[in-house]
Amino acid sequence: MLIIIAALSLPFLVKKPINLPPIISVELIQIADLTNIPFAPKAKKIIEKVKKEQEKLLSEQAPPKKIKKEKPDAVPLPDQKSEKIKKIEEKKQNPEKIDDEIKQVSEFEKDEMFDPNTIAALIDKSKEEIAETTKKSNKITQSEDSNMNLSGLTLNEEDALKAQIFGCWSIPLGLPYNENLLVRIKLKLKPDGSVIKTEILDHARMNNPGQGFYKVLAESALRAIQLCQPLRVPTTGYERWKDLQLNFDAREMLEG
């Protein structure tokens, strides 16, 4: 009995090597909700006609939003926080004495921590609405999107975004180029590329002693984002890029 069992089970103990099929590379392609395959000439005309009608309807239904002009709010005057006023006397000598004649009487730079993350709240809402209808031309088409990596942007998309921000970023020239000049900003974006929220990742560094230049650098990066928005983002895959991190590094430019 044992011999029979052993004879039957032995072939299973000796495993044969598995023959794997050859590996075939597969290009992953994102498929958009709408196709952009060219239509037949006749169909194209009909679709364009329908589109024009829709646009007319849209413009009738949603006139541009009027922006209310803000009344100037009173801002606390330096008086209220001034500490002291030093008298300045005229010098009689000739040649004139070079002296510290002008005294700063009130330096009411805010003690509050600089909070750039509140900037998003200042974004003009009406601007966002207009942007959705007008900035489509800046978008990357589906065909350009075809070689998209699932975890990042394609080279074309990245280049387009970089080129846009290069044009908006005025680098402060006085920064010490031998310091760490990297500012990392996390963005939350809308599908049209406009910015919902900005967050400086090394925010604490801004208030460190001797790092005053970092604040100047971070502010310049935030200005660039504000100036550039809506950002030139892909038309598809919003879930992938709705959170985006921009690493602004001025060192290369300043070192020359």
Partner 1 sequence: MIHKKLFFLIFLITFPLKSLALIEVDITRGNLNPLPIAVSALASSNEDKKNLKKILDIKDLGLEISRVVENNLKKSGLFNPLNKEAFLQKPDIAHLKPRFEDWSLIKAQALITGKVNFEDDKLRVEFRLWDVLAGKEMLALAFTTVPKNWRRVGHIISDKVYERLTGEKGYFDTRIIYVAEEGPKTQRVKKLAIMDQDGFNIKYLTLGNELVLTPRFNPTNQMVTYLSYFKNLPRVYLLDIETGIQEVVGDFPGMTFAPRFSPDGKKIIMSFAMDGNSDIYTMDLENRIVERITNHPSIDTSPSYSPNGKYIAFNSDRSGYQQIYIMKNDGSNVKRISFGKGIYGTPVWSPRGDLIAFTKLHKGKFYIGVMRTNGKGERLLTENYYQEAPSWSPNGRVLIFYRETKTNSKGEGFSAKLWSIDLTGYNERLVKTETDASDPSWSSLLSN
Identify residues 80-139 at the interface with partner 1 (CB under 8 A): 82, 85-86, 88, 90-91, 93-98, 100-110, 116, 119, 122, 124
Identify residues 218-237 at the interface with partner 1 (CB under 8 A): 219-224, 226-227
Neighbours of 235 (CB within 10 A): 19
- Sign for the CA dihedral angle at 204, 209, 210, 216 comes to positive
Could you tell me the CA-to-CA distances from 76 to 38, 108, 111 in Å, in that order? 61, 10, 14
Query: What gap in Å lies between CA 61 and CA 2, rounded to an integer?
Result: 88
Query: What gap in Å lies between CA 145 and CA 26, rounded to an integer?
Result: 16
Can residue 64 be called a binding residue for partner 1 (CB under 8 A)?
no
Nearer to partner 1, 192 or 232 (CB): 232
Min. distance of Cβ 50 from partner 1 in angstroms? 36
Identify residues 17-36 at the interface with partner 1 (CB under 8 A): 18
Residues near partner 1 (CB under 8 A), total:
82
Can residue 240 be called a binding residue for partner 1 (CB under 8 A)?
yes
Min. distance of Cβ 133 from partner 1 in angstroms? 20
Which residues, other chains included, contact 174 with Cβ-Cβ below 8 Å and sequence gap of 6+? 213, 216
Min. distance of Cβ 2 from partner 1 in angstroms? 29
Can residue 148 be called a binding residue for partner 1 (CB under 8 A)?
no
Min. distance of Cβ 151 from partner 1 in angstroms? 5
Phi-psi region of 217 (alpha: psi -120 to 50; beta: other; left: phi over 0): alpha
Identify residues 158-217 at the interface with partner 1 (CB under 8 A): 158, 161-162, 165-176, 186, 212-213, 216-217
Q: Which of 169, 178, 253, 181 is nearest to 213 (CA)?
A: 181
